[in-house]
Structure 1
């Protein structure tokens, strides 16, 4: 699952691909990422082929409601200054599969957690994914650390990193938070000449915090 702001989709659809952060340049209409996190990904070396740094890859998560999306939703809720202010509602998921990436012979690397963390491991071996990724945790709705397991959040941030670019013909479908966003996305797709794409409304894939909402 890769997510991006809906304002970025026209350029992505026109290019027919997602591109790595190090190559995206001015094509990113709305940047929802943290400048500090992006800087760390530009510095973190990937220790297995094809090498480079994390920002040389297009990132995909294995589960919705990631810690990164939680940060975006909380920044909006709290009105945090100098951050992307729009929350997670305008974000669109682009969904694919490891099998599609592998069958297309794309170069990829998987991590077992947050790519910025020093203890995170990487592999480019498909059989390794069975043990590398904490699949039971990916299926859980709550990923916060617990007294017995202080590493849950890091592991929930495991990624499949596709080298340099990801062609959109490998996308299975799209997901949005609300019916209104579905209508908006379908118009964006129609404008790009895409008529029959699968678009799902998945409110449970989002946090959707309102401004200054207090969690009970």
Structure 2
């Protein structure tokens, strides 16, 4: 339930990755920042131009460094980044990750778990590549920093009276350097078939009690070549 400012009492955070990356992630028991991940990922869904901009963008509050030095989490599903991935798949855009959002797995945790584990983190009020985006590492700032009402909306496109909605929907919780998987609450996938596939990946890693939920409303699911709505 939202608090007086609209911030949920338990602040869910979401990181997504391709299901093919899970075996390597589970083997080391943690997520690594882009600047540290090296060749560990089997399938990279990130756009090279965005990754390059995150390596250049400095984080102006402690622990500092660049945005790429942090493991990124969104505060809401169906992010503009996932929309881009789904649309590029639908349109068959050349030179981009081709498989859409269906193989993507959400790794779900909470800000409270991160804070209680005394991990270093920073939050942004929007797209970390945008010059006007603000950052803070103070827990008390989040109530006003993040547009919590927008995080709960299904449609986040810019409007004539509010042309900044897309940027704000991309607010992030950035965990410095690495994120241990024992802070996860569970996983979310798009279909029952992906649920069973992920459960097998988890079993192969010796994990039998993980929570894996199916939530198609967290995805776009555009099919290749279908007509735009």
TM-score w.r.t. structure 1 length?
Answer: 1.00
CA distance in 2 between partners of 1:98 and 1:161 (Å): 10
* 1:152-171 correspondence runs (5 A): 152-171=165-184
Task: Give deviations 1:122-143, integer Å, cap 9, x for gaps.
Answer: 0000010000000000000000
Counterpart pick for 1:135 among 135, 148, 154:
148
> In structure 2, what is the equivalent of residue 85 of structure 1?
98
CA distance in 2 between partners of 1:212 and 1:121 (Å): 38
CA distance in 1 between partners of 2:227 and 2:215 (Å): 23
What is the count of residue pairs matched by the alignment? 216
Task: Give deviations 1:119-164, integer Å, cap 9, x for gaps.
Answer: 0000000010000000000000000000100000000000000000
Counterpart pick for 2:196 among 174, 178, 183:
183
CA distance in 2 between partners of 1:43 and 1:68 (Å): 19
TM-score w.r.t. structure 2 length?
Answer: 0.94
> What's the offset of the Cα at 1:213?
1.5
Q: 5+ unaligned residues in a row in structure 2: which ranges?
A: 1-13
> What's the offset of the Cα at 1:31?
0.3
What do you get for the CA RMSD once the two structures are aligned? 0.4
Task: Give deviations 1:156-184, integer Å, cap 9, x for gaps.
Answer: 00000000000000000000000000000
